[in-house]
């Protein structure tokens, strides 16, 4: 990775993204309001808006009568500029969502496969069919699509040690691009969730945000000083594979003691098994259904289920305190199973106490928690939109070239 | 903390720092070379140089005959603009170093106290005497001083739970300023080490750097995308108080299982005591002298000492892999006891193997290690210099106002 240098071109690019996000946040705005909102000069905002108008990214909405002085021209992100499609793909599950160019959701389709979809050709077929089905539901055509974002769990740069099977399509990205004849960008859910927070969530109000994702896998998307942290090879945020316990439980990644081995769905089940080896819920698939059943059992007074939920909250609080220690964020946005209201109610008091107690000094004293319903899908759409702006020459964001 | 907004003023400020660092790196340079080195336009560089010349931060060194075209004017950071003083203070140890305005080291003094210096007035006295002694050795006067940087271990924002005694002077910063009648900036060693890497070390060649500091305490200074990560309340980088082992050893901070409880000097001794409870080196003060004796014993074939050194290397490798998981740096700069050649030789093969094995995917495949001899002292001098540029209106760096 090259040394970060702040070129004039990068500065223009960053300013364009700042204006774009401010306009998305405002819905309707004016050049003057955007200058106020961003702190950029009116002259800079006007130049940027001119560039965005030129490419149809932004549209004028007519003259607005102001309370003082001349009427000003209304501005809005041009939703009709085109469509952006996000596709989330695991080996048995696929979801595709069509967004307008202002990142408004238009239509979603889901697909489930009884058999794992593993061969690259089959995965590509599945993505193409899912994308077309979503476009049909959104009454859109492929010609309308400005960009496609593919969300793949797991490390995306090169084949990794404990690689989720679907990630193999990373190696066949060119074939996917050829099949679709559309610009395609691939990223992992951590970066997408962080990008969603930056474009549409807490990252618009705070400079330092960590979004944690708790599911079968566990990870974090990091926003520092208003930018998504990617690291040297786009693999920053793998909090799920940092240590909870040296030489602790074996993780599916091969390491021992990872956060994910305690806080992924399978890890929660293992905590139950350690609490009560004969408990009926220790058997069955490692799905969110297990977690629902666990909470139901806890609500019904099942002692082992209660102990497991509480122990899991202690693990989560301790693991979040590690993120506070290293990154000292203003907000932690919790997504995934722990954000479900039923977990939230039972676990959050324990989690808050533990984070406060375990964080260095008073680093967590003013820490806020949020429970956004957004997932990585709108984030990958934002990344695809950013990529489109890059193709137009409007943005020079440094991303790993291979993506 | 306010939302990060990229104002035109911030952009000028960032560009000035970029030019300043490039000029420090080059020693002697020209406007054209600086434009090449930074990627900024020649016009922008010329404007910035004009600002820096106006305040005497940069000096012209006369006309240089170029190989092609007109001769160009040489430029250099104006070392004689004034002096910057760094002071490191613990409760029994003080060190003060005088730098010129190009961050060249001129003179250092050390002071040791048999009794802990704990009362705020005594600490302030000690700092003032140390600063004056260092200035005298550097043949400089207080009037020459552009800024003073105080390095204090521990959380600096507000009184913290397990507060090192000397940190209390944080609460009396105004009195220190009154006594010295000089601009004073206080920061912790982690931020100073990161700033030193950014201004003078790996951070000039890489965008993503983590500098770890291993001493009595343990911490990390983080550079991401060419900027020091401070977090919401300036307490980012407290890697020493992230988990190595849930419910593990009691740390002096009150938490259990912190990295510092295994990798601070006291933690290494505890590993020895767990390996061989009756070992003679388990007794004595927790100083670097213990570590030297430990390595000597290992070199002499002492099985418990060898096992302790090797176990410590496993702990350190695992804890560094956590930083790779979350931050995915290009370089880890190791400072403190592990950078001493004797540890380095015995431990680095184990550390490298462990970091590679424990890091997610191939996130550590291209990771480099460095062992800079610089410590936080030149970093706090750089922070003091940055502060001086801020007082002149040249820099708008967002730092926590209380500092």
pLDDT digits (tens, 9 = 90+) for B174-187: 888 889 999 999 88
Query: Rounded to the nearest 5°, which phi and psi values hold at A91?
Result: -75, -15
pLDDT band of B214, cuts 50, 70, 90: very high
B243 vs A41, A235, A318: nearest CB: A318
Question: For the complex shown, is ipTM > 0.95?
Answer: no
CA closest to B358 among chain A residues = A255
Least confident of B31-45, B147-161, B216-230: B147-161
Helices (H) and strands (E) in chain B, counts: 12, 13
The whole-angstrom distance between B4's CA and the closest CA on chain A is 5
- Give the confidence band of B3 by pLDDT, cuts at 50, 70, 90: very low
Q: Do B229 and A230 touch (CB under 8 A)?
A: no
What residue ranges do the domains of chain B occupy? Answer: 8-77, 81-192+376-391, 202-370
Helix (H) or strand (E) holding B28: strand B28-29
Nearest to A106, CA basis, from A145, A74, A72, A76:
A145
Residue A8: what pLDDT?
64
pLDDT score, position B157 = 38
Contact A326 B238 (CB under 8 A): yes
Instruction: Give the three-class secondary structure for A22.
Output: helix
Residues of A in contact with B354 (CB under 8 A): none
Residue from the list A243, A360, A367 with its beta carbon closest to the beta carbon of B322: A243
Tell me, what's the pLDDT at B38?
Answer: 86
Q: Under a CB-based contact definition with an 8 Å cutoff, are residues B151 and B167 in contact? A: no
CATH architecture of B8-77: Orthogonal Bundle (1.10)
- Residue carrying the six token digits 């090797």: B310
Query: What residue of B is the nearest CA neighbor of A39?
Result: B7
Interface probe for A, chosen from B238, B252, B313, B317 (most Cβ of A below 10 Å), is B238
Among the partner residues A15, A163, A229, nearest to B224 by beta-carbon distance: A229
Pairing of strands A83-89, A184-187: unpaired
Which pLDDT value is given to residue A398?
56
Instruction: Tell me the C-alpha distance between B211 and B200, whole Å.
Output: 13
Is the pLDDT reported for residue B4 higher than 70? no
Could you tell me the fold of the domain covering B81-192+376-391? Nucleotidyltransferase; domain 5 (3.30.420)
Q: From the list B8, B38, B158, which residue is nearest A362 (CB)?
A: B158
Angle at B205 between CA A7 and CA A229, to 5 degrees: 70
Q: Give yes or no for residue B390 having a pLDDT over 50.
A: yes
- Residue-wise over B254-280: b if at least 16 C-beta within 10 A, else e? ebbbbbbbbbbbbbbbbbbbebbeebe
The answer to whether A238 contacts B325, with C-beta atoms less than 8 Å apart, is yes
Q: What is the token pair recorded at A179?
A: 């099949």
Residue with tokens 């489109």: A388
Residue B155's pLDDT is what?
Answer: 43
Question: Which residues in chain A are closer than 8 Å to B34, comparing Cβ atoms?
Answer: none
Can you give the pTM of this predicted structure? 0.88
The domain covering A203-370 belongs, at the CATH homologous superfamily level, to ATPase, nucleotide binding domain (3.30.420.40)
Question: Which residue did the predictor score with more confidence, B288 or B260?
Answer: B260
What residue of A is the nearest CA neighbor of B359? A241
Burial class of residue A132, CB neighbours in 10 A (0-12, 13-18, 19+) = middle
Alpha-carbon distance A44 to A270, whole Å?
Answer: 56
pLDDT of residue A80: 95
Of A7, A330, A358, the CB nearest to B232: A330
Residue ranges in chain A whose pLDDT is less than 70: 1-9, 65-70, 154-171, 397-403
| Chain pair A-B, CB pairs under 8 angstroms | 244
The SS3 of residue B145 is strand
Q: Which CATH architecture has domain B202-370?
A: 2-Layer Sandwich (3.30)
Same fold, B81-192+376-391 and B202-370: yes
Is residue B330 over pLDDT 60? yes
Inter-chain contact B239–A40, Cβ cutoff 8 Å?
Answer: no
**How many CB atoms sit inside 10 A of residue B327's CB?**
29
Q: What chain A residue is nearest to B255 in terms of C-alpha separation?
A: A358
- Look at residue B364 in the predicted model and tell me its pLDDT: 95
B239/A325 CB distance under 8 A: yes
Rounded Cα gap, residues A76 and A338, in angstroms: 36
Cβ within 8 Å, pair B231-A155: no
Task: Report pLDDT digits (tens) over B123-174.
Answer: 899 999 999 999 999 999 999 999 999 988 754 434 444 445 455 566 677 8
CA-based torsion, A297, A298, A301, A306: positive or negative: positive
- Taking CB atoms and an 8 Å cutoff, what residues of chain B touch A14? 6
Task: Report the chain B residue with the minimal C-alpha distance to residue A314.
Answer: B246
Q: Is residue B6 scored above 80 in pLDDT?
A: no
In angstroms, what CA-CA distances link A380 with A86, A392, B59, B96? 6, 18, 49, 51
């Amino acid at each position: 990775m090259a040394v970060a240098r702040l070129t004039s071109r990068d500065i223009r690019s960053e300013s364009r993204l700042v204006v774009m996000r401010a306009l998305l946040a405002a819905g309707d705005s004016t050049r003057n309001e955007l200058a106020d909102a961003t702190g950029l000069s009116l002259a800079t905002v006007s130049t940027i808006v001119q560039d965005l108008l030129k490419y149809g990214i932004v549209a004028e909405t007519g003259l607005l009568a102001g309370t003082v002085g001349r009427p000003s021209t209304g501005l809005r992100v041009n939703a009709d500029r085109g469509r952006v499609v996000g596709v989330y793909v695991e080996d048995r599950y696929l979801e595709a969502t069509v967004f307008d160019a202002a990142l408004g959701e238009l239509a979603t389709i889901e697909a489930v496969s009884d058999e794992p979809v593993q061969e690259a050709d089959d995965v590509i077929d599945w993505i193409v069919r899912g994308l077309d089905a979503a476009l049909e539901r959104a009454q859109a055509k492929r010609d309308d699509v400005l960009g496609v974002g593919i969300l793949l769990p797991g490390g995306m740069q090169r084949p990794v040690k404990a690689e989720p099977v679907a990630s193999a399509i990373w190696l066949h990205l060119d074939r996917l691009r050829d099949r679709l004849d559309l610009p395609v960008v691939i990223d992992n859910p951590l970066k997408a969730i962080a990008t969603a927070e930056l474009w549409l969530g807490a990252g618009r109000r705070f400079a330092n945000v960590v979004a944690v994702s708790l599911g079968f896998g566990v990870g974090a998307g990091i926003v520092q000083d208003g930018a998504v942290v990617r690291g040297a090879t786009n693999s920053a945020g793998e909090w799920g594979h940092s240590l909870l316990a040296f030489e602790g439980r074996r993780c599916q990644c091969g390491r021992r003691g990872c956060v994910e081995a305690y806080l992924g769905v399978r890890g929660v089940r293992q905590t139950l098994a350690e609490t009560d080896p004969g408990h009926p819920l220790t058997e069955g698939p490692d799905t969110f259904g297990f977690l629902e059943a666990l909470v139901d059992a806890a609500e019904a007074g099942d002692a082992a289920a209660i102990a497991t939920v509480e122990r899991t909250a202690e693990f989560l609080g301790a693991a979040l305190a590690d993120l506070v220690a290293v990154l000292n964020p203003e907000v932690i946005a919790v997504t995934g199973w722990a954000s479900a209201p039923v977990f939230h109610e039972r676990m959050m008091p324990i989690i808050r106490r533990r984070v406060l107690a375990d964080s260095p000094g008073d680093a967590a004293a003013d820490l806020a928690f949020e429970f956004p319903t957004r997932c990585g899908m709108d984030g990958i759409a934002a990344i695809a939109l950013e990529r489109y702006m890059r193709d137009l020459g409007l943005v020079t964001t440094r991303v790993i070239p291979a993506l």
